[in-house]
Amino acid sequence: MGPFVARRLLQMVPVLLGVSILTFALTNLLPGDPARAAAGRHANAEQLEAVRDRLGLDRPLPVQYAMYMGRLLQGDLGTSLTSKQAVAEELRLFFPATLELLLATMVIAVSVGIPLGVFTATRRGSWADRAFLGFSYFGVGMPVFFMALLLQIVFAGWLRVLPIAGRLGLETVPPPTFTGMYTVDALLVGQWTTLLDALRHLLLPALTLAMAGTSEVARITRRSMLQALDQEYVRTARAKGFPERTVWLRHALPNALLPTTTVIGLQVAFLLGGTVLIENLFSWGGLGTYAWTGIFRMDIPVIMGITLIATTVYLIVNLGVDLVYARLDPRIRYE
């Protein structure tokens, strides 16, 4: 396992380099004055000059890139045009809320999607299977921002059972900060009412985001279960007289989970995009809301900061997926 992890980490280096070159190119090479992009529309000539000097915009491009890399490695992602705060600092503040939302979404997608996929595969062609296939079109085709509106109308507007906005009720005092995720922090100090309130607020945005992921995970699990159930070893297992449940769960499922793992990793990329689309609607004070205001004000340093952090998260998740893969499938490790 050790050499595999090392090799996999080494493979990330050129990709990370490429990612930084692309973001550098986006901010610095496109038509328009990068100094103006960094200083804002209302900067005067003196401020522009100062920014030009600080970013080294009069130097040759490779030097500029080296300076950019140097700043990135020191964790300097530039300054927000609107708040005048360091982007890295603001990202650190907003990140936990989004991480909480992502984790909750993944828990729903995996814990509903995998059993649903297994269930429908083992009852292929039944009404439940067909109903699920119909529903999965709904889950995959529904624009996530529209899904958010629908759920808000139903649960918050008509049924009035769930809060529509925010991470906690107005009367609830946030728990002491350890991780910045309210549910986890409340759990750590044992504030049960706060935990319950945070969970209630988490439910609607997480359900919204989980809709597409759950459908996708279930579809892939169903398909690969069906393929696995066609295999010779399943026939062998059945011939040996194992109960059907054992054949499904102990023989077919572990093999079927490989494609599911890939899909879960890919889903994280879509979720990161999804948070940008829905966080603002739910007044969820995370990266998505931060991105939304950044777009609204065309705050390029903020948008680039979010791009970099989202890409880093995605790369880490993919690394995790590959490690899980190597665990599930020994052939990969020894390749």
Residues at the interface with another protein (CB under 8 A): 14-15, 18-19, 21-23, 26-27, 30, 37, 137-138, 140-146, 149-150, 152-153, 157, 258-259, 262, 268-270, 272-274, 276-277, 281, 291-292, 294-296, 298, 300, 303-304, 306-307, 310-311, 314-315, 318, 322, 325-326, 329, 332
* Cβ-Cβ contacts under 8 Å for 200 (sequence gap 6 or more): 162, 163
Provide the minimum distance between the beta carbon of 272 and another protein in the complex, in angstroms, as a whole number: 4
Residue 131 CA: distances (Å) to CA of 127, 135, 140, 207, 253: 6, 6, 15, 20, 22
Provide the minimum distance between the beta carbon of 273 and another protein in the complex, in angstroms, as a whole number: 3
Q: Which is nearer to another protein, 16 or 196 (CB)?
A: 16
Provide the minimum distance between the beta carbon of 158 and another protein in the complex, in angstroms, as a whole number: 10
Provide the minimum distance between the beta carbon of 298 and another protein in the complex, in angstroms, as a whole number: 7
Q: Which is nearer to another protein, 104 or 304 (CB)?
A: 304
Closest CA relative to residue 275, chosen from 294, 288, 285, 262 = 288
Helix (H) or strand (E) holding 162: none
Q: Which is nearer to another protein, 242 or 292 (CB)?
A: 292
Residue at 62: amino acid letter = P
Q: Which is nearer to another protein, 120 or 152 (CB)?
A: 152
Task: Report d(CA 251, CA 213) in Å as an integer.
Answer: 25
Nearest-10 crossing angle of helices 2-28, 61-73: 130
Provide the minimum distance between the beta carbon of 277 and another protein in the complex, in angstroms, as a whole number: 6
Provide the minimum distance between the beta carbon of 335 and another protein in the complex, in angstroms, as a whole number: 8
Q: Which is nearer to another protein, 178 or 296 (CB)?
A: 296
Q: Which is nearer to another protein, 63 or 153 (CB)?
A: 153
DSSP 191: -
Residue 286 CA: distances (Å) to CA of 33, 115, 122, 232, 267: 30, 30, 40, 49, 19
Provide the minimum distance between the beta carbon of 177 and another protein in the complex, in angstroms, as a whole number: 27
Q: Which is nearer to another protein, 246 or 293 (CB)?
A: 293
Phi, psi dihedral angles at 98 (to 5 degrees): -70, -40
DSSP assignment string, 237-298: HHHTT--HHHIIIIIIHHHHHHHHHHHHHHHHHHHHHHHHHHTTTTT-TTHHHHHHHHHHTT
CB 59 within 8 A of CB 71: no
